[in-house]
Amino acid sequence: MKVLVTGAKGQLGTDVINELAKRGHVAIGVGVAEMDITDSAAVRRVMTEAAPEAVIHCAAWTAVDAAEDEENRAKVKAINVDGTENIAMVCQALGCKMMYISTDYVFDGLGEEPWKPDCTSYAPQNYYGQTKLDGERMVSGLLEKYFIVRVAWVFGKNGNNFIKTMLSLGKKYDTIRVVKDQIGTPTYTYDLARLLVDMVETEKYGYYHATNEGGYISWYDFACEIFKQAQYDTKVVPVTTAEYGLSKAERPFNSRLDKSKLTENGFKLLPSWEDALRRYLQDGSD
């Protein structure tokens, strides 16, 4: 299968390209230099020439706090909404599958119940979340052959992430503060890429949630396990979001994602987040 991957040099895109190649698929990776997704004519030209059977759309504006700045909002919308629409329109014209990577930020982040993939109680609490929801609507409104896959707490070898931040802080400080009242599950891009390719090889379209297994934890729990596995002596002090101090963008307290639809559709679940962390650290990604 010929698959075009946007954001190919990013944290997730790199792993998706590798996974596709490993399975013998033809992977066409594009970054902004090869295809500026905000330029509809460029998207139409590149995609028509490539003639993919599927598109895995990993490119996005993901700087959540910076998205709140007024001077960035037009660019955030251009990438997350208009860029997604440009791709979806060409997918529609070519009759190819489209996979859109989304986020739990499309919900309000409150309560303790895991969010179900087909839940439509959307209420983004920040601008990034709103643009990702608008992107979802572009895909579902234009296409029938689509996968919308929401993920949370993503980490991988090819980008900045929470683990790298913790290890960096752990080298500088004896004690750090980490929030204990935001709950979710980490997602390792290496494992996620395998699942995404599993999915795009099928016609089991629709909305899905995907993170590693191992239960729901806080950022504090994650930090403690990072230092334990990395054999750091850093002390972690649990604090509330309010005690930690405000960020520009509101963060969800509840990032629990219900992944039962993966099992129902015969997809293999991701390994536990502790196992994913161990493999990530073994690869020397610090």
Rounded Cα distance between 163 and 102, Å, is 21
Rounded Cα distance between 26 and 279, Å, is 27
Annotated catalytic residue, options 105, 128, 146, 207: 128
Q: Is 266 left (phi over 0), alpha (psi -120 to 50) or beta?
A: left
Rounded Cα distance between 276 and 156, Å, is 10
Percent helix / strand / coil, the chain, rounded to 5 = 45, 20, 40
Helix axes 219-230, 162-172, angle to 10 degrees: 60
Residue 28 in contact with residue 51, Cβ under 8 Å?
A: no
Q: Pick from 164, 216, 154: which is nearest to 187 by CA? A: 154
- Residue 218 bridge partners (DSSP): 183
**Known catalytic residue at 128:** yes
Rounded Cα distance between 13 and 8, Å, is 4
- Residue 57 bridge partners (DSSP): 6, 100
Supply the residues annotated as catalytic: 128
